[in-house]
Amino acid sequence: MRNIKCLSVMIIFLICSSGLICAQVIEISAVFPTWEPYGYVENGKAAGFEIEIFAAVMKNMGIKVEFLHQPWKRCLYSVKNGTADVVISTLKVNERTEYLYYPDEPISINRTALFTAIDKDIVFNGSLEGLKNFTIGVTNGFSYGPAFDSCDFLKKDASTETEAVVIKVLLGRNELGVGNVAVIKIIAKKNNASHKIRFLEPLLHSQKLYVGFSKAKKHKHLTADFSIALSEFRKSTEYKNIMKKYSLD
């Protein structure tokens, strides 16, 4: 009997080490910024299509999630120092791979564009050089692609939240703003200003967005398990209904 108990303990240890069932017995904290429709707070609760997708996948994996709303820079700090397990959502950039595990499966797509007030005659031909005389509103801690991020000659005005970036353009404090197209459209609509802004073409970039798992919390196995579960979830009716709810392809 004693040998059987020892064998059972060893089997459980080996399975947990492989990451196959450990995910079913843990609870994690997920941080996210205001980035509607991706993630935001509504009636005191976490909302958004990425939030709903992540919550559904975690439920399927048997994991409880505590969602914590924070400014973006704070989100990154939380997963970096291990006070949070997961950040929703992030671009895969080199500096973040130092403290985040990235799943193979992205959670969504980020389409980034410049925008301005409708009465401005600013033209963008794809060259950042032509924007050096304008002040461009950005969200603190966000990445807008390697070319834009590393461009030292641009005048960038950082705000804590993306809504402030839009408001500053509408008020004429900044000539330009930059951000995710879907997010900017939602913010403009909420401020009854959809007709007061226009997006400049071409896009700055289009990149995949991921759920980032904290290396400080040693979530390597959980990251791999989540990637598989997310890939399977995309085939479900529940996933399609979430996307339909937010009018997204």
Residue 14 pLDDT: 44
pLDDT in tens, the chain (249 residues): 444 444 444 444 444 444 444 444 489 999 999 889 999 999 999 999 999 999 999 999 999 999 999 999 999 999 999 999 999 999 898 999 999 999 999 999 989 999 999 999 999 999 999 999 999 999 998 889 889 999 999 999 999 989 999 999 999 999 999 999 999 999 999 999 999 999 999 999 899 999 999 999 999 999 999 999 999 999 999 999 999 998 886
Which residue, 149, 159, 103, 111, is CA-closest to 128? 149
Spatial separation of the C-alpha atoms in residues 206 and 217, rounded to whole Å: 30
Residue 7 burial (C-beta neighbours within 10 Å; 0-12, 13-18, 19+): exposed
> What's the one-letter identity of residue 180?
N
The tokens for 3 are: 């040998």
Residue 5 pLDDT: 44
Report the DSSP beta bridge partners of residue 206: 111
Report the DSSP beta bridge partners of residue 103: none
> What's the one-letter identity of residue 206?
S
Residue 4 pLDDT: 45
Pairing of β 155-159 and β 135-139: parallel
Phi, psi of 56 (to 5 degrees): -65, -40
Residue 15 pLDDT: 43
Residue 248 pLDDT: 84
Residue 26 pLDDT: 86
Report the DSSP beta bridge partners of residue 87: 31, 212
DSSP letter (8 states) at residue 152: T
DSSP letter (8 states) at residue 249: -
Q: Which residue ranges form the domains of the chain, and what is each CATH number?
A: 26-108+208-245 (3.40.190.10), 110-206 (3.40.190.10)
> What's the one-letter identity of residue 48?
G
- Alpha-helical (H) ranges within the chain are 2-18, 49-60, 72-81, 146-149, 162-170, 181-190, 220-233, 237-245
